[in-house]
Amino acid sequence: MTTRVLIAFYSRGGVTEALAKAVAEGAKAEGAEVRLRRAREFVGEDVMKKAPGWLEGAQRMNAIYEAPTEADAEWADAIVFGTPTRFGSMTAELKAYIDSLGGLWFKGALVGKAGSAFASTSTLHGGNEMTITALYAPMAHLGLILVPTGYADPAMFKAGTPYGASSVSGTNSAPPSADDLEVARFQGKRVARVAAALKAAR
C-alpha cells in the first residue's frame, strides 16, 4: 500500500517552500504519495502590503498549494511541518494549522504516524534548531513518532541539522543551497521509509 506524506509548510518569501519541495522529492523517490500544503495568513492585505513581496508571494504560492486541512492530517501516514523562523520559533501561520488539529488529538487519530520538521532562518545562529525542536513539542502531543534527520546520511555532514533540514537565507532571501536541498531530500526519504514501516506494523 502506498505511503502517504503530508508536508504542511508556511513560507512568505519562497525559501521554506524550496525546502518543502525537496522534502517532497525525497518522499516521492521512496514511492510515497505526497500532499504539499501551504498554511494561510490570517492578517489582512493591508498588513501584508507593508512588507515588500509578501502579498505577491502569498498569491503565487496560494495558486499552487491548497491550505492544509484536518482531512489531510488524517489521510497521511507521515506529517512533516516546515516553517521560517519567527523570533526563534515557528510562524503563527503554521501554528494555527497545528492548533486546528485539536479534534484529531482528542480522538487520538494521529497516534503512531511519523512526524518530522524543517525550518529556515536568515542568520546563521538565528534559531533553526530551536524552531525545529519547538515543533517536536506539538508533534509529541499529537502522538507522532518523531523522525529526526540525525547524522544518518553523508548529506548530514555538509548541511542541515540533526533535527531536520534547514537553510540560512541571509539578508537577500537566498534560496537553499544544493547541500541544504540534499538534506531535505534525505529527510523526505527517511520519513517516508519510517512511515511505511510503521504502517506495515499497524
**Minimum separation from the CB atom of position 134 to ligand FMN (A):** 12
**Minimum separation from the CB atom of position 165 to ligand FMN (A):** 13
User: Which lies closer to ligand FMN via its Cβ, residue 116 or residue 166?
Assistant: 166
Q: For ligand FMN, how many residues bind (rule: CB under 6 A)?
A: 20
> Binding string, 67-106, against ligand FMN, x = CB under 6 A?
-----------------xxxxx------------------
Return the range that interacts with ligand FMN (CB under 6 A); candidates 93-101, 118-126, 151-159, 183-191: 118-126
* CB-based closest residue to ligand FMN: 126
Show contacts with ligand FMN in window 10-39 (CB under 6 A). Answer: 11-17
Show contacts with ligand FMN in window 153-182 (CB under 6 A). Answer: 169, 173
Q: Which residues does 174 contact at the CB level (< 8 Å), separation at least 6?
A: 15, 168
Show contacts with ligand FMN in window 121-150 (CB under 6 A). Answer: 121-123, 126-127
User: Which lies closer to ligand FMN via its Cβ, residue 20 or residue 142?
Assistant: 20
- Secondary structure of the chain in the HEC alphabet? CCCEEEEEECCCCCHHHHHHHHHHHHHHHCCCEEEEEECCCCCCHHHHCCCCCHHHHHHHHHHHCCCCCHHHHHHCCEEEEEEECECCECCHHHHHHHHCCHHHHHHCCCCCCEEEEEEEECCCCCCHHHHHHHHHHHHHHCCCEECCCCCCCHHHHCCCECCECEEECCCCCCCCCHHHHHHHHHHHHHHHHHHHHHHHHC
Beta carbons of 65 and 35 less than 8 angstroms apart: no
User: Which lies closer to ligand FMN via its Cβ, residue 50 or residue 141?
Assistant: 50
Could you list the residues that contact ligand FMN (CB under 6 A)?
11-17, 84-88, 120-123, 126-127, 169, 173
